[in-house]
Structure 1
Amino acid sequence: MSWGKTLGSSIGKKIMMSLSGILLILFLAGHVSGNMTLLMGKAEAFNVYAHFMSTNPIVQVIANVFKLFFVAHIVYAIALIRQNKKARGNKAYDQTNKDGTTVSKYMGVLGTVIAVFLVVHLAQYWAVMHELRGTIGTVTYDGVVMKDLYSVVAASYANPIIVGAYVACMFVLAFHLWHGFASAFQTLGWASKRWTPIISFVGKAYSIIVPVLFGLIPVVMYLRG
């Protein structure tokens, strides 16, 4: 069987969903680690971090790879949703597990909410960073001129509506990860009596800790004023 037919098959789509999902899980871990510099309350720490991430060529290559996998994750998710609806008639999407839980049934809905959030998130920060929406101020640290992205984030998180919406979306992300983490490993055949409990524990811990850390940032910045 050719690679095209393999990837186009039901199992091929699920494998691509799982692989892209695992890579995106790694991306989230790295992203939240960098964003934690916002909690230091020092503009320099975040601006230096953001400048490095946006100018380092190696980081840019890695970022572009993650973007491709993010697009692939959405494309294959849509394909699987349509496939499942045709096969079982407009029933809620159940990615790989047959556990019947609410989270597994509505992974498509949760994923859609996250996708909408990301579009808005990119419009707020990525578009501004690349000056696709207005101009942005600059700051200088140790003779290096860089964009003042900290001020952009701080101004955004001064709005309680944005903070509330962000936190709400982190709850959605937590539910999505709660099912998706273990499901990805199961689809790839990495589950076993020995590893399944460990994967389940790590997945549940991850699905709580990472969204909480993401949600904590805007709350703390808002309260700090």
Structure 2
Amino acid sequence: MKQTTIQYKLVMAGTGLFLCFFLVIHLLGNLQLLLPADEAKEQFNWYSHLLAGNMLIKIISWVLLISIIAHAIYALVLARKTKKANGTKYVYDKRADASPWNSRNMGLLGTVILTFLVIHLKDFWYVSDFTTMGLDKQGYKDMYTVVVLTFHQWWYVLIYEISFIALGFHLLHGFFSAARTLGLYHPKYVKVVRYVGWLYTAFITGGFMLIPIVVYFNNLSSC
């Protein structure tokens, strides 16, 4: 039982760190959307075309999808095992005194993120790979226009923002949890781990949350 739990945690840590690395690459690519409109369209469509036409990227995308599924499944299994191992429920629940809110609500945060991923993949990945799209002047699929039109909807921007707030809380706990599982959360450099975790979370959540807000208000100003 103990060994199995450790193995599950190692899978969670490994897939989680891979997803963290992907988020950095994905954010750096999406930051092109903050460029002036004409430049952003040219650069982002070129970037999207590069990703779609590269076999290595396609392989990585499938590894990414498998990692997301594995991360979610192992999280559910681990949560059930933990709940079963805890056994009796106590009359007074004082977990809030010993653990932060996000560590006690990873299931809720994960559900919000997973729901957002389904919507996100439908609106972008599915549209790009399985529908007929307009082309820009370079002959590339016009993903930039798809993004701009999507972020023109205030309710989608709101969902996006809420989802990345949830992701921020999820990342913060997950980063520290993975560090402990991999034996990196040592007293000698615990402050460094905490600093890197907070810095990474702020960069990822702040960057992704900024993009739809800027695009949305740029849309309003151009109307």
- TM-score normalised per structure 2: 0.88
Residue from 152, 159, 163 that aligns with 1:158: 152
Asked if 1:16 corresponds to 2:11, the answer is yes
Aligned partner of 1:121 in structure 2 is: 120
Residue from 60, 63, 66 that aligns with 2:64: 66
Residues 36 and 90 of structure 1: is their aligned pair in 2 closer, same or farther, counting only changes over 3 Å?
A: farther
Residue from 118, 122, 135 that aligns with 2:132: 135
Aligned partner of 1:109 in structure 2 is: 108
Q: Give the length in aligned residue pairs.
A: 209
Higher relative contact order (CA 8 A, sep 6+): 2
Residue from 29, 50, 64 that aligns with 1:52: 50
| In 1: Cα distance, 2:162 partner to 2:88 partner | 27
Find the residue that maps to 1:138 and give its secondary structure: coil
- For 1:104-145, what per-residue CA distance to the aligned partner results, in whole angstroms no more than 9, with x for missing partners? 1111111111011000100111110112xx42111242xxx2
Find the residue that maps to 1:217 and give its secondary structure: helix
- For 1:165-221, what per-residue CA distance to the aligned partner results, in whole angstroms no more than 9, with x for missing partners? 101111111111111111101111122123321111010111112111101111000
| In 2: Cα distance, 1:90 partner to 1:52 partner | 54
Aligned partner of 1:205 in structure 2 is: 199
Unaligned runs of 5+ in 1: 92-97
Asked if 1:39 corresponds to 2:34, the answer is yes
| In 2: Cα distance, 1:55 partner to 1:99 partner | 49
Letter paired with 1:176: H
Letter paired with 1:52: L
Deviation at 1:89, TM superposition (A): 4.6
| In 1: Cα distance, 2:196 partner to 2:183 partner | 17
Letter paired with 1:75: I
| In 2: Cα distance, 1:208 partner to 1:105 partner | 21
Aligned partner of 2:188 in structure 1 is: 194
| In 2: Cα distance, 1:67 partner to 1:90 partner | 37
Letter paired with 1:57: M
Letter paired with 1:201: Y
Residues 204 and 20 of structure 1: is their aligned pair in 2 closer, same or farther, counting only changes over 3 Å?
A: same
| In 1: Cα distance, 2:88 partner to 2:41 partner | 49
Letter paired with 2:4: S
The structure in which a higher percent of residues are helix is: 2
Give the RMSD, CA atoms, in angstroms: 1.9
- For 1:57-83, what per-residue CA distance to the aligned partner results, in whole angstroms no more than 9, with x for missing partners? 122222222222111111100101111
Letter paired with 1:115: L
Asked if 1:149 corresponds to 2:143, the answer is yes
